[in-house]
Amino acid sequence: MRIFLIGFMGCGKSYNGTRLAKVLNMPFVDLDNYIEEKAGKTIAEIFSEQGEEHFRKLEQQALHQMTAFDNIVISCGGGTPCFFDNMEWMNENGDTVYLKCTPQTLEKRLVKGKAKRPLIKDLDEQNELINFIKSKLEKREPFYSKAKTIFNTESEQYEPWIILGHKIS
């Protein structure tokens, strides 16, 4: 079983991916961390030194390398499903779970985690951040919506969450 967690920056992919992997007793890979280790640079450094286009190529390569693992939980970057044929590829090579959040919730979380995220680090917290989230999310939603499972993180009534039939707490 190969599980890809997808969704916007700040939707909880890494946090919940770690928990899900623990419940399933499976290894966990954060795709951004994997890229950083391979490149020997942070995501911010890759963006500023080599540009986003180069980052997207590294991201796709890293994604394809996940076929080396048969049982794994992978937390993708927020943009992973939206470039090349990555979304179709993930659906062909595993289970995809979209962790869906409202722009307001994402904003609250991203204010704290802005600095390490090149796409939002220079946005002010008055209007720019929320406007960016709303417009980017609208463009990305068609990709995210192709996930095999869509998990509404704010409307699911049950706690602990049940993702792909597994209780995570």
Q: Which listed range, 17-25, 96-104, 115-123, 157-165, lies at the site for ligand S3P (CB under 6 A)?
A: 115-123
Question: Distance between CA atoms of 78 and 82, rounded to whole angstroms?
Answer: 8
* 9 contributes a contact to ligand S3P by CB under 6 A: yes
Report, in Å, the least distance between residue 76 CB and ligand S3P: 7
Number of residues that bind ligand S3P (CB under 6 A): 9
* 164 contributes a contact to ligand S3P by CB under 6 A: no
What percent of the residues of the chain are helix, what percent strand, and what percent coil, each to the nearest 5?
50, 15, 35
Under 8 Å between Cβ of 90 and 143: no
* 43 contributes a contact to ligand S3P by CB under 6 A: yes
Question: Distance between CA atoms of 111 and 129, rounded to whole angstroms?
Answer: 8
* 17 contributes a contact to ligand S3P by CB under 6 A: no
Residue 70 DSSP symbol: S
Closest CA relative to residue 137, chosen from 116, 110, 163: 110
* 118 contributes a contact to ligand S3P by CB under 6 A: yes
Q: Which listed range, 71-79, 90-98, 100-108, 159-167, lies at the site for ligand S3P (CB under 6 A)?
A: 71-79
* Residues near ligand S3P (CB under 6 A): 9, 32, 43, 77-79, 117-119
